[in-house]
């Protein structure tokens, strides 16, 4: 799948991501600034992205744990209605064309 990524510097790139993993891994490996410190355990929040509003309803909804982690980092960083943890976005053909913006670090 190809995912359009808006970086913290405002630059955009189209990322080819292999299916089967989580978006966080692809963002981390592409040096977008996503750290994914906890390895996808929903306990660090460093994989936070803003999903393009056009895509908000096309992704599977947040779990309670994801929502709780986002709420926790909301003290430190701006949350938007489309904030997601990229470690909870599975990469498959269904996300081809997805656009995400890397949220600020904290
Ligand atoms: Fe830590 Fe997503 S990688 S919360």
How many domains does the chain divide into?
1
Q: Residue 59 Cα, ligand 1 centroid: separation in angstroms?
A: 17
Å from CA of 38 to ligand 1 middle:
5
pLDDT in tens, 56-73: 899 999 999 999 999 999
Confidence of residue 87 (pLDDT cuts 50, 70, 90): very high
Nearest CA residue ID for atom 4, ligand 1: 42
Give tens-digit pLDDT for 13-23: 999 999 999 99
Is this complex scored with an ipTM above 0.90?
yes
d(CA 24, ligand 1 centre) in Å: 8
pLDDT band at 25 (very low <50, low <70, confident <90, very high): very high
- Whichever domain contains 35, its CATH number is 3.10.20.30
Q: Which two tokens stand for residue 69?
A: 């982690």
Which atom from ligand 1 is nearest to the alpha carbon of 34? 3
Which tokens is 12 given? 């955009």
Contact status, residue 15 vs residue 3, Cβ threshold 8 Å? yes
How much of the chain, in percent, has pLDDT values that exceed 90? 98
pLDDT of residue 103: 98
Residue-level pLDDT at 96: 97
Residues listed for the chain = 106
For residue 25, give the H/E element and its range: helix 23-29
Single pTM value for the model: 0.96
User: Which residues make beta-bridge pairs with 3?
Assistant: 15
* Enclosing domain of residue 87: 2-102
């Amino acid at each position: 799948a190809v995912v359009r990524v808006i970086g913290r510097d405002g630059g955009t790139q189209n990322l080819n991501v292999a299916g089967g993993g989580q978006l966080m891994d692809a963002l981390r490996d592409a040096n977008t600034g996503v750290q994914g410190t906890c390895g996808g355990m929903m306990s660090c929040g460093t994989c936070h992205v803003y999903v393009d509003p056009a895509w908000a309803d096309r992704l599977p909804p947040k779990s309670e744990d994801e929502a709780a982690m986002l709420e926790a980092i909301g003290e430190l960083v701006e949350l938007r209605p489309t904030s997601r943890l990229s470690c909870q976005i599975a990469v498959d053909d269904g996300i081809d064309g997805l656009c995400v913006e890397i949220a600020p670090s904290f």
